[in-house]
Structure 1
Amino acid sequence: MALSLEQYRDIRKENPTIKNILTKRIESQRKKALGFSINICNQIPEHLIIEILSRLPVKALLQFKSVCKLWYDIIKSSYFISRHLRNYYDNNNNWRDCLIVQYAITQAGELNVYELLIDDTKNRALSYQAIETPVYNTYMCGPCDGIYYLNCFSVNRPTRSLWNPSLDEFKALPDITCWNPNLPSDSTNMMCVESYGFGYDYKTDDYTVILIVYYIDTRDDNSEYTNNPLSILIYSLRTNSWRYWGDMVNSYGLEWSKSYDFVNGCYYWLAYRKLNYVKNYEMIVSFDISGDTYEEIRLPEFESRPVLGSQLIVYQDSIAFVSLPPNDRTNFSIWTWNNVVWTQKLKMKLDFEVWGAFNQWRDNMLVFREARSKLVLLDTNTKELFVLDYPRAGACRNICAYKESLVSINDFGKEISVREEKPDKFPSIC
């Protein structure tokens, strides 16, 4: 322990006189330490303070808000929040060491969420622990600027919410009242199914949730959709409200997201039709948040159609399709889309079967699930494989990164923005 009056805390409990003296001295030391911080603060130019603070983790910044009023005003400002999003992640790779993994722990699909800390020098799991989400048994979508969209599907009442774990902020989204007005009045036998996306709209400086809603005929076991078109609904965090965008022309089943598929303002879903109880992947559906438009993208040309476990991921800053061929899960290939053509980036033959849940961990590292639900790291440059050996329960359903930020979901739209210009001078002084 460093030399301080805290080393006498046990004596202080037993003697009221010493307790009074030491309490005053500890308070005096605290004031001196604060005065030292303030003097340092006054000696450093403001732009350097901003640059230094913007490279620190959120937990430290929340503590530093109490150093002085200038630091408080800086850390709370929209300009600093935006700069922190860039500087902290561009100059620090430690945030990539943590993965959020979701496992189905029962046959009914009940989900538990775990935090997995990885040692990137040896590509091994250092720690593995369950974490609590504000809503139990919920799928996580994200992160976008440290914010996750939580979707807990219930036949009676779905729960939709946003969560920033680094700020410990949770926001339940309002109920949807703007459903498709053209649905038939008799919808007794139709079950509503939601596919979702979450991202940031650069055009309106807003965080938005996209729901694509389709309907299953409960009387037909082979049905994954009805003749009713897919409806698109959009939630705005800035206005805290939903709006009905309209309907898509064609009807598909949409694969739920196993990774965060938001790239350059667009979200993507893998679309399929069901034939003889087998999913037949046909195309990709994308929605441009800023352009308020959707598009259907054909899949790459294959010798045989991809099967269950194939999925979309973000790879090398592009949307990519991971294809698993039928009858041989030891093969997979990755194709990237540049808005014009598909390009095959990787093709591999493994000694074990792959069962999906792909995601990009680092620039050249993929993480995915093998047949026994172990997670495997793949270095796409060297083709080396590393099995993350740790206790686990159930089947891996989703993998995402842990990313922290100062973006407040409770204050956004009131005084918080993530693209505000830097003020000429912060008005506060230390």
Structure 2
Amino acid sequence: MSCSTSELPPDLTVEILSRLSVKSLVRFKSVCKLWLSLIESSRFVSRHLNRSINNCGGDKDRYGGRYLLVKHRRRDSGARLISLLSTETLELIPPVDIPPHVDAREFNVIGSCNGILCCASDSGWPIFFWNPATRKSRVLPGCMFSRGGVELPESLCVFAHGFGYDCVVDDYKLVRIAFFHLLNKPCFRAEVFAVSEGSWREVPALACRVYSSGCTAVNGILYWVAYNCGSDDQELILSFNLRDEVFGRVYMPDSSFIGDGNCTKLSVYQESLCLIVYNFRGRSKCLDLWMMSDGARQHCWTKQLSIGPIIGVHKPLGYGINGEIFMEKNNGTLVIYDAENEAVQDLPVKGFPYSLDCHFYIESLVSVGR
């Protein structure tokens, strides 16, 4: 089948198609070879992605909008589920089907970037990239660290992961950090998988043990909460620059604020790294919010506000694009907190208590492999 382009100029055809949702574009690839080639071209994918990022509407027939992706567990079977909420209307979108080759009972989302999810099982393997909008997924090749030619079994290592986008070279990268003991001494190894290369390679690691499963990506840099393994064992933030592929240390705003029972949560607000400090004890929660600025090559922290006490909240999950805070209640219900009005609103997601995990997601045509 061929497409007639005599009625519409090619530029106008591209303009119209770039305004459609991913679901429609996937169907339209079957119309003719010309549209298939156009929709799968890197130039069109980038154009459609930029429109989606700049679009703030929740109209599911145009682009797909921005979503809050919530991973939670069913109360009856314990299986992991993925729910999507429109960040504009807070309405629940139809459930997302997890790829059939994945065990739903051991499913975790490492990160979300430009419509691509990086996921892994509880054991850390397999790891795969997944585009829920196009329903395409790709399992990554296995790689185990070795020392002197001897492979280190996965069971002997504790892994931390991070996923992000390097805009300078237009590449998606996954970082894998391993911590293990060898001859009673702590050891640290790290490796990077770049989509453009399709393989793993080792990079120098720092002596920092990541103890939080979550990773936050901001402007091409990945961040984890970690301990500096050395003389001080100080809590800090481990960073990784996706462009230079170099690890670094970012120190907390004030070590005295980490008191007994206090926890920290990294998030993003206004394209800056944000640190949320809260106490896990008690039925009510008070939160301090700090924002980091990178002035004169020094990481500077500014305390934005303190909120609370909020009754019945278990933990914060992250900042919204408009300054709202998403939290999990003690009963497993997702809520949103408006700091300006000091109001808590229940959202239509309820899972097994203490099982919620949130990421921001936007539909795209980005491929899971090259």
The interval holding the TM-score normalised by the smaller chain is 0.7 to 0.9
3-state SS of 1:393 partner: coil
Taking only aligned residues, the RMSD between alpha carbons, in angstroms, comes to: 3.4
TM-score, length-normalised on structure 1? 0.72
Q: 1:211 to 1:352 in 2, by over 3 A?
A: same
Q: 1:393 to 1:97 in 2, by over 3 A?
A: farther
Q: 1:294 to 1:119 in 2, by over 3 A?
A: closer
1:348 match:
307
1:297 aligns with 2:265: no
Q: 1:42 to 1:381 in 2, by over 3 A?
A: farther
Moved more, 198-207 or 136-145: 198-207
Alpha-carbon deviations, 1:230-258, whole Å to 9, x = none? 2111112222111111231x24243111x
1:377 aligns with 2:336: yes
Q: 1:42 to 1:189 in 2, by over 3 A?
A: closer
1:19-418 equivalent positions in 2, closer than 5 A: 38=4, 41-94=5-58, 95=64, 98-104=67-73, 111-118=79-86, 120-121=88-89, 123=90, 125-126=91-92, 129=95, 131-133=97-99, 134-136=101-103, 137-154=106-123, 158-177=125-144, 179-181=145-147, 191-215=156-180, 227-248=185-206, 250-257=207-214, 261-272=216-227, 282-301=235-254, 303-305=256-258, 307=261, 309-325=263-279, 327=281, 329-339=284-294, 340-410=299-369, 412=370
Number of residue pairs matched by the alignment: 353
Q: Tell me, which stretches of 5 or more residues in structure 1 are unaligned?
A: 1-30, 218-225, 275-279, 413-430
Q: 1:55 to 1:364 in 2, by over 3 A?
A: farther
Query: Conserved in 2, the CA contact under 8 Å of 1:333 and 1:348?
Result: yes
3-state SS of 2:168 partner: coil
Query: Conserved in 1, the CA contact under 8 Å of 2:210 and 2:224?
Result: no
TM-score, length-normalised on structure 2? 0.83
Distance 1:187 1:167 in 2: 36
Query: Conserved in 2, the CA contact under 8 Å of 1:128 and 1:390?
Result: no
Q: 1:304 to 1:181 in 2, by over 3 A?
A: same
Distance 2:6 2:342 in 1: 52
The letter of the residue matching 2:41 is: S
Distance 1:405 1:186 in 2: 38
Q: 1:126 to 1:409 in 2, by over 3 A?
A: closer
The letter of the residue matching 1:213 is: A
> Which structure has more helix as a fraction of its residues?
1
Query: Conserved in 1, the CA contact under 8 Å of 2:332 and 2:356?
Result: no
> Which structure has more strand as a fraction of its residues?
2
Alpha-carbon deviations, 1:251-301, whole Å to 9, x = none? 4243111xx611111111001379xxxxx8710000001011111000111
3-state SS of 2:13 partner: helix
Query: Conserved in 2, the CA contact under 8 Å of 1:310 and 1:356?
Result: no
Alpha-carbon deviations, 1:55-111, whole Å to 9, x = none? 22111112222444443332121111111110122124324564332235589x965
Moved over 6 A (4+): 185-190
The letter of the residue matching 1:321 is: L
Distance 1:375 1:172 in 2: 30
The letter of the residue matching 1:245 is: V
Distance 1:364 1:56 in 2: 29
Distance 1:88 1:110 in 2: 34
Give the drift of 1:229.
3.2
Alpha-carbon deviations, 1:137-186, whole Å to 9, x = none? 121122211111111133xx821111112111111111114x15269x89
